[in-house]
């Protein structure tokens, strides 16, 4: 009976310790209201934070305008003239006519492309997106084709866009995923014109009839530093992680009843740029949830550490090389050469990377005679979804080590050469003596 009780007690302790360990492992993960989210490194392409990043369909709402802005930037110059069109005038509220008044902008009016970009990304004017569609492609239908061609060019598998402003009422096939939207965000941010405008806090736009409108960026995080004071101010839990002090340098908001509250935001700290996406978060009266979600996952991502996929000086691969110890003559032999990296091969350990990471070995032609522990003989290529890293591979044995393995052969050959030389010398001597004797006879 005592044995059974002891066994039961040990089992309970084990299960409790396992549960506590599992909780401890996940304690640092920020809890957010957004249904899906992602944080990626803009420069390296590494995926750092994940939450259902490939779940689709997710509806992007006005974050669609990042792609619209990119297409404008790729097809027009900031000083180009953009006409206000009939399709633009038909768009619902949160349009330029709400900013300046319906009577002050008509289909007779124009704006510079730069002012249209500001209206699109700062004020999120729905009609400005249709101005772009009509002026860049000729019609919304042709612009839809342009958007989806760009989506294909970016390699996105879970995205299809219909409207240039992201309005999705009665539309089923305007959708994306958190991951796909992060790719669009990176592409938009890397365009200098789009980057400049999305980093603008407030500005003015002018219509050709002289009407002036003032636009303010709806991204509440713009220019905000995610420090301890900010965390205390809005009451977010940093999960005992240090404040990152990263500053928001751009992004785009979005909302429809179907999409929920969406946010794309770009952050920078000490030259390191991260892009975050939160989709289908809560839209409350204070409009705080999605921004708090973003602050949490960005702060967590700047503190996240890479873990070793392969540790330094661990044998990664063995290669077999054929060679002749005596180079051009003699028997052929084989040697097995272990390869290592002198650096840890690092990656962010999350559900996506763990399931998708791939490795590839690229080995150069190896000359056993030149083999050195300090000379690379190839590379290890670590491939994640959008990130590729290479690590130099080094042999753990050198040409000197291989010579030592063949020492008996070399000794034998050396002895044989000496014996052969002695025999030759002896023959020469014998022949020489025979010659002298014959000369004496004569």
pLDDT at 439: 63
Q: Are 263 and 294 in contact (CB under 8 A)?
A: yes
pLDDT at 407: 58
All residues at 6 or more sequence positions from 428 whose CB lies less than 8 Å from its CB, including other chains = none
pLDDT at 416 over 70: no
pLDDT at 332: 77
Query: Pick the residue with more confidence: 7 or 298?
Result: 298
85 alpha carbon, distance to own chain's centre? 39
Q: How does residue 329 score in pLDDT terms, banded at 50, 70 and 90?
A: low
pLDDT at 237: 67
Residue range 173-185: mean pLDDT, rounded: 98
pLDDT at 12 over 60: no
pLDDT at 62: 98
**CA–CA dist 117, 80 (Å, integer):** 11
pLDDT at 175 over 90: yes
pLDDT at 180 over 90: yes
Please give the structure tokens belonging to residue 184: 């669009």
Q: Are 164 and 130 in contact (CB under 8 A)?
A: yes
pLDDT at 438 over 50: yes
In degrees, rounded to 5, the angle at the alpha carbon of residue 309 between the alpha carbons of residues 304 and 311 is: 105
**CA–CA dist 171, 188 (Å, integer):** 25
pLDDT at 424: 83
pLDDT at 206 over 60: yes
Domains assigned to the chain: 30-303 (3.40.710.10), 309-405 (2.60.410)
pLDDT at 37: 98
Which is nearest to 38 in space by CA: 26, 18, 53, 28? Answer: 53
Q: How does residue 157 score in pLDDT terms, banded at 50, 70 and 90?
A: very high
In degrees, rounded to 5, the angle at the alpha carbon of residue 339 between the alpha carbons of residues 336 and 344 is: 160
Query: Pick the residue with more confidence: 232 or 419?
Result: 232
Query: What b/e readout covers 245-254, taking b as 16+ CB neighbours within 10 angstroms?
Result: ebbbbbbbbb
pLDDT at 409 over 60: no
Residue range 385-414: mean pLDDT, rounded: 78
Query: Facing residues of 262 across strands?
Result: 254
Q: Are 405 and 396 in contact (CB under 8 A)?
A: no
Which is nearest to 173 in space by CA: 184, 185, 183, 159? Answer: 159
Which is nearest to 131 in space by CA: 172, 168, 59, 80? Answer: 80
pLDDT at 9: 43
pLDDT at 4: 46
Q: How does residue 426 score in pLDDT terms, banded at 50, 70 and 90?
A: confident
**CA–CA dist 124, 215 (Å, integer):** 9
Please give the structure tokens belonging to residue 45: 């392409």
Residue range 205-211: mean pLDDT, rounded: 98
Q: How does residue 238 score in pLDDT terms, banded at 50, 70 and 90?
A: low
Q: Are 73 and 193 in contact (CB under 8 A)?
A: yes
pLDDT by residue (tens digit) across 38-68?
Answer: 999 999 999 999 999 999 999 999 999 999 9
Q: How does residue 13 score in pLDDT terms, banded at 50, 70 and 90?
A: very low
- CA torsion sign, 273 to 277 to 219 to 225? negative
Which is nearest to 333 in space by CA: 324, 342, 341? Answer: 324
pLDDT by residue (tens digit) across 108-136?
Answer: 999 999 999 999 999 999 999 999 999 99
Length of the chain equals: 442
Which is nearest to 278 in space by CA: 286, 288, 270? Answer: 288
pLDDT at 142: 98
pLDDT by residue (tens digit) across 333-370?
Answer: 889 999 999 999 999 999 999 999 999 999 999 888 88
Q: Are 53 and 352 in contact (CB under 8 A)?
A: yes
pLDDT at 414 over 80: no
**CA–CA dist 143, 73 (Å, integer):** 14
**CA–CA dist 331, 327 (Å, integer):** 9
pLDDT at 327: 65
Query: Pick the residue with more confidence: 364 or 17?
Result: 364
**CA–CA dist 315, 63 (Å, integer):** 46
Q: Phi first, then psi: give them for residue 293, nearest 5 degrees.
A: -55, -45
Q: What percentage of the chain reaches a pLDDT higher than 70? A: 86
Segment (H or E) for 334: strand 333-341
pLDDT at 405: 63
CA distances from 348 to 112, 271, 355 (A): 44, 19, 12
Judged by DSSP in three states, 386 sits in coil
Secondary structure tally for the chain: helices H, strands E: 14, 16
**CA–CA dist 161, 67 (Å, integer):** 10
pLDDT by residue (tens digit) across 264-311?
Answer: 999 999 999 999 999 999 999 999 999 999 999 999 999 999 999 999
pLDDT at 396: 95
């Amino acid at each position: 009976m005592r044995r059974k009780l002891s066994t039961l007690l040990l089992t309970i302790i084990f299960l409790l310790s396992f549960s506590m360990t599992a909780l401890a492992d996940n304690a640092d993960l920020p809890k957010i209201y957004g249904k899906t989210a992602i944080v990626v490194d803009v420069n390296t392409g590494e995926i750092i934070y994940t939450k259902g990043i490939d779940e689709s369909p997710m509806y992007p709402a006005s974050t669609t305008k990042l792609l619209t802005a990119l297409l404008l930037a790729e097809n027009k110059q900031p000083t180009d003239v953009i006409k206000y069109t009939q399709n633009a005038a038909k768009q619902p509220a949160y349009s330029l006519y709400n900013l300046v008044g319906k009577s002050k902008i008509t289909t007779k009016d124009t704006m510079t492309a730069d002012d249209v970009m500001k209206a699109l990304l700062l004020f999120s004017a729905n009609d400005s997106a249709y101005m772009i569609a009509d002026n860049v492609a000729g019609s919304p239908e042709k612009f839809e084709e342009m958007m989806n061609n760009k989506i294909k060019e970016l390699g996105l598998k879970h995205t299809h866009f219909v409207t240039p402003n992201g309005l999705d009422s009665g539309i089923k096939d305007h959708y994306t995923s958190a991951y796909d939207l992060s790719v669009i965000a990176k592409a938009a941010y890397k365009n200098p014109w789009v980057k400049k405008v999305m980093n603008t806090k407030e500005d003015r736009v002018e219509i050709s009839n002289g009407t002036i409108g003032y636009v303010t960026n709806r991204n509440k995080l713009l220019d905000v530093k995610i420090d301890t004071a900010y965390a205390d101010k809005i009451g977010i839990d940093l999960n005992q992680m240090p404040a990152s002090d990263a500053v928001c340098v751009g992004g785009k908001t979005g909302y429809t009843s179907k999409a929920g509250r969406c946010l794309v935001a770009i952050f920078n700290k000490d030259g390191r740029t991260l892009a975050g996406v939160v989709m289908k978060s809560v839209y409350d009266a204070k409009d705080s949830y999605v921004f708090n979600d973003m602050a949490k996952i960005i702060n967590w991502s700047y503190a996240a550490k890479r873990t070793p996929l392969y540790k330094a000086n661990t044998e990664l691969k063995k290669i077999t090389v054929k060679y002749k110890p005596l180079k051009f003559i003699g028997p052929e032999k084989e040697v097995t050469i272990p390869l290592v990296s002198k650096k840890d091969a690092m990656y962010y350990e999350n559900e996506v990377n763990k399931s998708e990471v791939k490795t590839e070995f690229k080995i150069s032609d190896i000359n056993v005679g030149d083999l050195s522990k300090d000379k690379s003989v190839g590379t290890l290529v670590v491939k994640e979804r959008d990130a590729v890293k290479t690590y130099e591979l080094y042999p753990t044995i050198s040409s000197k080590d291989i010579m030592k393995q063949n020492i008996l052969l070399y000794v034998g050959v050396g002895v044989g050469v000496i014996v052969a030389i002695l025999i030759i010398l002896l023959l020469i001597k014998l022949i020489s003596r025979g010659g002298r004797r014959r000369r004496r006879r004569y």
